[in-house]
Structure 1
């Protein structure tokens, strides 16, 4: 059997083949559809709970959303916003750092809501080698203490806690400082390594994996403080509508239940 191809048939075949290639090229050059992305700047004490909240939020939305978290000390995050960091949401461990970002015109003031509360606690290395049982024990001459650096929210709260003691005791406690951490996760890690006899962090930090080698030493409610956690939209958020949905989710019954599982208190009643 012979196959005959006329010149015209051959030319039409070439043209058809080229058209097919062009069509394939057009398809391959089409832009790949990307999921919308939300960038969330959050206090380091929120690392574990926000990771779980993020998974739950994406599931509730039916998928198709990417979340990018940046966890650090709230004061560091406020500085990042002042310097122009691109983000959709800021979740702070206190109101002062949120107001710092507001003053820099990086936060939408009417979007600020308090979504959780926390309290402080002492942590000691496993086995409590210095036998710390109270705040007053931090004043003993041989005790080595770690607090957060000035300006970090947990340091502000720690100072308020220590103000419940007399002036001489406070003075001795501050004299026992051997290190100042930039965030609570750093303090937990240092105490777990035995670099100090005690540190002051949030109660919720003891739930993290970093806290496996530390023990919690609670102190009386009368000496404690309530830490407020505000969350808000960044002024020039790339995804404001979707970001607001995440904020709403943290305040929803499901979001509040997840926060409670990690030891956070409920958002204050309006």
Structure 2
């Protein structure tokens, strides 16, 4: 039944492809920077729509939306933010991710355990607690002596890739996408620590939300390292 619903919604979008009424602006968490362009391209090919993407820290994007920034859909790792920005219909859970303790390639500081996150001689960078990756980090059962707290997970990843930090906490998908960064040690996969949720702020975004849970979209997410499954 869900597959039929996706097909109907996508068919509706295709029927409108003669105009710009199904063109979308999508605000998305920075951790979706690598995968969303692939998702957007597939959706554009199927429907004829054009998707404009805007990336940033989830809280920063939510603040822009509250201030009146135009966006048809908001993809975030903090579903509570959707209540603040106003959405149409029921939000959709479409992927999940997990935290990884990461280091610059080659692990020059020799980080080997969670205990190293408390060392004074290491430059430790994490996300601020106000963004989803930081909120998840604060739930880790470990003492963290952070030198810097960044406003997005991509900022943490950048510090690591440039060698401006000895160790940081990012998502597994970030490590997979950046050749200059690696896991600090072999970390067993745990239950996903964050769930990505999409909310439609206009009715024309509803077919895109349905697309995110389609087999094609879920396959794209899996190839980028996200965990997928039937949304709640």
- TM-score band by shorter chain is 0.7 to 0.9
Shift of 1:59: 1.0
The aligned residue for residue 180 of structure 2 is: 213
- Residue 101 of structure 2 is aligned to residue 117 of structure 1: no
- CA distance, structure 2, for counterparts of residue 138 and residue 97 of structure 1: 29
The aligned residue for residue 31 of structure 2 is: 45
- Please give the secondary structure, in 1, of the residue aligned with 2:168: strand
The aligned residue for residue 248 of structure 1 is: 210
- CA distance, structure 1, for counterparts of residue 192 and residue 214 of structure 2: 25
- Structure 2 counterpart of 1:107, from 87, 109, 114: 87
User: Normalising to structure 2: TM-score of the pair?
Assistant: 0.85
Higher helix share: 1
Matches for 1:35-184 after TM superposition, within 5 Å:
35-36=20-21, 37-61=23-47, 63=48, 65-101=49-85, 106-108=86-88, 110-161=89-140, 164-165=141-142, 170=143, 173=144, 176-184=145-153
- CA distance, structure 1, for counterparts of residue 114 and residue 230 of structure 2: 27
C-alpha deviations, 1:186-220, integer Å up to 9, x for none? 11111111111111111001232xx2211123534
Q: Which has the larger radius of gyration?
A: 1
Mark the runs of 5 or more structure 2 residues left unpaired by the alignment: 1-17
Shift of 1:221: 4.7
Q: What number of residue pairs does the alignment pair up?
A: 213
- CA distance, structure 2, for counterparts of residue 100 and residue 269 of structure 1: 21
Poorly superposed stretches of 4+, deviation over 4 Å = none
